[in-house]
Structure 1
């Protein structure tokens, strides 16, 4: 739909307009899609590979150790999930590109000096500001990741406190200026309807929660906190699934029930049920979170997207011919061969995130690199945590940014850690290191 919106120059859905504007800047129709896909691929892989190469190039050490670390980094880059998803034209992928590129530029600033460090830090700041509004999670992730370029310019540079504060203020000013200018350009590029604001997204989330609580609560219908009949409840339980909220709309009865109250009505139902049925609400939210982590597999989670697909009427109007070619079919068949592998489960990446975060905390690393890694880890943790109260489907691409950031953390650890981790003692860094 955002390709269609880019051609129109107008939002017709509640998606944030920033990706739509980027598509319009890149052209329209198939050209824009191709250019955006190329940018995602190039910038994502470059962010990961160049970060690892820069860390290795500036750390020194025995040649044998460097070779083994290069092999480990290459194995991370060869993860098929990166290859399968980075080419999808979707806002989660674009958001992932911006967050990974911003963090990667920050890492480069950590291991360089002088003007190059400043330029990389400014690039990181601008990229994070632009990417902040591509997806809602950017609102809290980008400010946390802004700590990466700040650490790069402030830690271990021999600066006085006033100079550190000045650099921090400068980066924040650059971030805010980039954010304002970017939003202004987006507003001039894409016309948005105020009716398509955040209320639409909040309403969908609350409708899903209301249905989930209704389906899972053990309170009899005649004593339920909102008006309820046994027949309606049976229908809600039939179509409710923790995998996807859109299954609810397959039932005209449930659709009518959730739609009639309007925004204020559904908000009132939601608040009443959350207070009266906290156990059912928490069970619903936990089951939905398990689904997005693919605890029971990825069957209902759109595990792969190939070819040209969507609303065929809109696609043809902007110059696309829906369908698959031989290359698309090959990618699909490859995905089916690995779909049961652990790398196709987000809980595996969450576990990998927990492990690498502990290793970074317990290992000797260059102070700037270590503190920057902690900021990246915090932003990644916030991304995971954000889906606990807000997920409405288990689409695999939702957590693709986490896959990229976890990969970056592992690359940073492999390239920069020195010696064995010492559990029970958290290292800040190695005092003998220049950076």
Structure 2
């Protein structure tokens, strides 16, 4: 958040960090901002010197600086958080957001101790190639599933039977969970919002099995 807010507002004061270590403040303003992207924070690791300086800051200094930005420079903080949330929720470049993983991956030493080969076989690659046909469609869109969740929740609230309220609670909790990433997101990885997608599909299936128009027709009879 500190680097991101500085990236969107270069004149942002970083007094807490400067007072603790002026060299780290200079690194943050120059190297940190150059490495920053709302897509993910992983790129900070590409500069070993910056990474050591950043992660070497005491927790109390980082918190004091973050608090100052949130309370004194909310425009920079909110602009940064909006961009980060936009990436995780709308996935503008789906390929950069790791929409799926195939094969076996993980730490090499752990895989060796288990006798597992880290690799992707031809079947894995074929599955991945098949999935790419859908990456830029609504099937890989959290926005699409959020709309489904909202529509399903609205219909069920209109019907308001006892079991409906359980599904509504699930759908609203999924939407609230997705919204929480406006504050906590650090990368646009598609898997972070799987709960929203699955909840929306579950709500849609629930409605499909017992549609409201069927009950309305029975009542009219």
Q: TM-score by structure 1 length?
A: 0.45
1:378 aligns with 2:176: no
Q: Which residue of 1 aligns with 2:79?
A: 283
| Kept after mapping to 2: 8 A contact 1:289/1:391 | yes
The number of residues matched between the two structures is: 212
The alpha carbon displacement at 1:381 in A equals 2.0
CA distance in 2, matches of 1:346, 1:377: 13
| Kept after mapping to 2: 8 A contact 1:309/1:323 | yes
The alpha carbon displacement at 1:360 in A equals 2.1
1:166-216 Cα offsets, whole Å, 9 max, x none, are: xxxxxxxxxxxxxxxxxxxxxxxxxxxxxxxxxxxxxxxxxxx11111211
| Kept after mapping to 1: 8 A contact 2:38/2:80 | yes
Q: Which of 197, 209, 212 is matched with 1:415 structurally?
A: 209
Written as runs of structure 1 = structure 2, the 5 A alignment for 1:25-424 is 209-219=1-11, 223-226=13-16, 227=18, 232-362=28-158, 364=159, 367-419=161-213
1:120-139 Cα offsets, whole Å, 9 max, x none, are: xxxxxxxxxxxxxxxxxxxx
* Distance change in 2, residues 1:225/1:349 (3 Å): farther
CA distance in 2, matches of 1:352, 1:218: 40
CA distance in 2, matches of 1:322, 1:271: 43
| Kept after mapping to 2: 8 A contact 1:212/1:240 | yes
1:98-132 Cα offsets, whole Å, 9 max, x none, are: xxxxxxxxxxxxxxxxxxxxxxxxxxxxxxxxxxx
* Distance change in 2, residues 1:356/1:332 (3 Å): same
1:363-396 Cα offsets, whole Å, 9 max, x none, are: x36x112221221122212211221111111111
CA distance in 1, matches of 2:15, 2:73: 8
CA distance in 1, matches of 2:191, 2:91: 15
* Distance change in 2, residues 1:379/1:231 (3 Å): closer
| Kept after mapping to 1: 8 A contact 2:153/2:172 | no
Aligned to 1:293, the other structure's residue is in SS state helix
CA distance in 1, matches of 2:151, 2:93: 22
1:54-89 Cα offsets, whole Å, 9 max, x none, are: xxxxxxxxxxxxxxxxxxxxxxxxxxxxxxxxxxxx
CA distance in 1, matches of 2:111, 2:60: 35
1:219-252 Cα offsets, whole Å, 9 max, x none, are: 26xx444426666413222111111111222122
Aligned to 2:37, the other structure's residue is in SS state coil
For structure 2, the residue ranges without an aligned partner over 5 or more in a row are none
Aligned to 2:80, the other structure's residue is in SS state helix
CA distance in 1, matches of 2:203, 2:134: 24
- Note the aligned Cα RMSD (angstroms): 2.4
The alpha carbon displacement at 1:331 in A equals 0.8
Q: Which residue of 2 aligns with 1:101?
A: none
Aligned to 1:299, the other structure's residue is in SS state helix
| Kept after mapping to 1: 8 A contact 2:91/2:141 | yes
* Distance change in 2, residues 1:307/1:296 (3 Å): same
Q: TM-score by structure 2 length?
A: 0.85
For structure 1, the residue ranges without an aligned partner over 5 or more in a row are 1-208, 421-428
CA distance in 1, matches of 2:149, 2:15: 40
